[in-house]
Amino acid sequence: MKDMSTTPPLEVALVHPHPTAQGNHTLSTAARRVCDLKDAEDELNEKIKFLSEFVAAFKDQIHTDILLKPGNNGPPVPAHKALMAIRSEVFRNMLDSDECKAPANDTITLTELNHEELEALLEFLYNGCLAEEKMNRLVYPLSLAADKYHIPYLRKLCERHMLKSLNSSNVLDVLEIADVCAYQALKETALKYIVMNMEEIVFSAAFDSFAIKNPHLSVQITRASLMDAKRLSSNSVS
């Protein structure tokens, strides 16, 4: 009979019913992170609300001090000189001129914009964004305005919007805008897109009017197409 007194004691691992110090630390860290995220969300919402009150000042015409007239003889749009000067160095220089300092001349005409385009530009200057539907319709005139009045953030958003929405029906317009506004990356992308879809685009009615209006771009399209054909020929030979 085996002597039980010599058998080593059985070691049993027990799960402690209470959290360990390490577990408490992990839970505490997770709780702090949740609180930090909630605080960050609340702070962001407060900032958005704070900034939206400035947009309300534009929409409700609170203490506006200048009128902007569109070029199509539409009704003028009230705005605030301070905001225009902050958003655009060109506007600041215009407002600093002697003509604009006189109370009787607190009106600026933006001849290249119609009433809808002017309102959209001002909405962006106040709000920092535009609804997708407005960007789809007005991205070309807004790009030209952003370039003319040196509004870098609007330029960037317009270029990004045209890049992501590029297709066969708008690529010629995009190429023209990219050339005028010096969007180099956008222009190169548009040229590559045209070369890849050469037959569909070049034999369209839109290309006829485009070529008459933009002969230098037509030459660039032809050169890009020839270079691409040469590249493909070299690859097939090798």
pLDDT digits 0-9 by tens, 12-57:
444 455 556 666 667 667 667 777 777 677 666 666 555 555 666 6
Which SS3 state, helix, strand or coil, does residue 70 take? strand
The position carrying tokens 């807004």 is 142
Instruction: Using a cut of 0.75, tell me whether the model's pTM lies above it.
Output: no
pLDDT at 58: 66
> 186 lies in which domain range?
167-230
Check: CB of residue 175 under 8 Å from CB of residue 194. Answer: yes
Q: Residue 238: inside a domain, yes or no?
A: no
21, 199, 216 from 205: Cα distances, Å: 76, 12, 18
Q: CA-CA distance, 194 to 228, in Å (whole number)?
A: 11
For residue 183, give the nearest of 204, 162, 198, 169 by alpha carbon.
162
* Domain total in the chain: 1
Q: Quick check: 148 and 140 in contact, CB under 8 A? A: no
Tokens of 132: 């997708």
Alpha helix ranges (H) inside the chain: 21-59, 81-87, 89-96, 98-101, 115-127, 132-148, 152-164, 171-181, 184-196, 198-202, 205-213, 215-237
Specify if 154 maps to a domain.
no
Q: Angle CA(27)–CA(33)–CA(39) in degrees, nearest 5?
A: 135
Contact 162, 174 (CB under 8 A): yes
How many CB atoms neighbour CB 166 within 10 A?
16
Q: Is residue 88 part of a domain?
A: no
Q: Are 195 and 172 in contact (CB under 8 A)?
A: no
Q: Does residue 193 fall inside a structural domain?
A: yes
Position 83 in a domain: no
Q: pLDDT tens digit string along 76-90?
A: 999 999 899 999 999
Residues of the chain below pLDDT 50: 1-2, 4, 10-15, 102, 104
pLDDT at position 52, please? 57
Inside any domain, residue 100: no
Q: What is the pLDDT of residue 158?
A: 97
Helix, strand or coil, per DSSP, at residue 75? coil
Tell me whether residue 175 is in a domain.
yes
Identify whether 157 is part of a domain. Answer: no
Residue 12 has a pLDDT of 47
Distance between CA atoms of residues 60 and 212, nearest Å: 45
**CATH number of the CATH domain containing 211:** 1.25.40.420
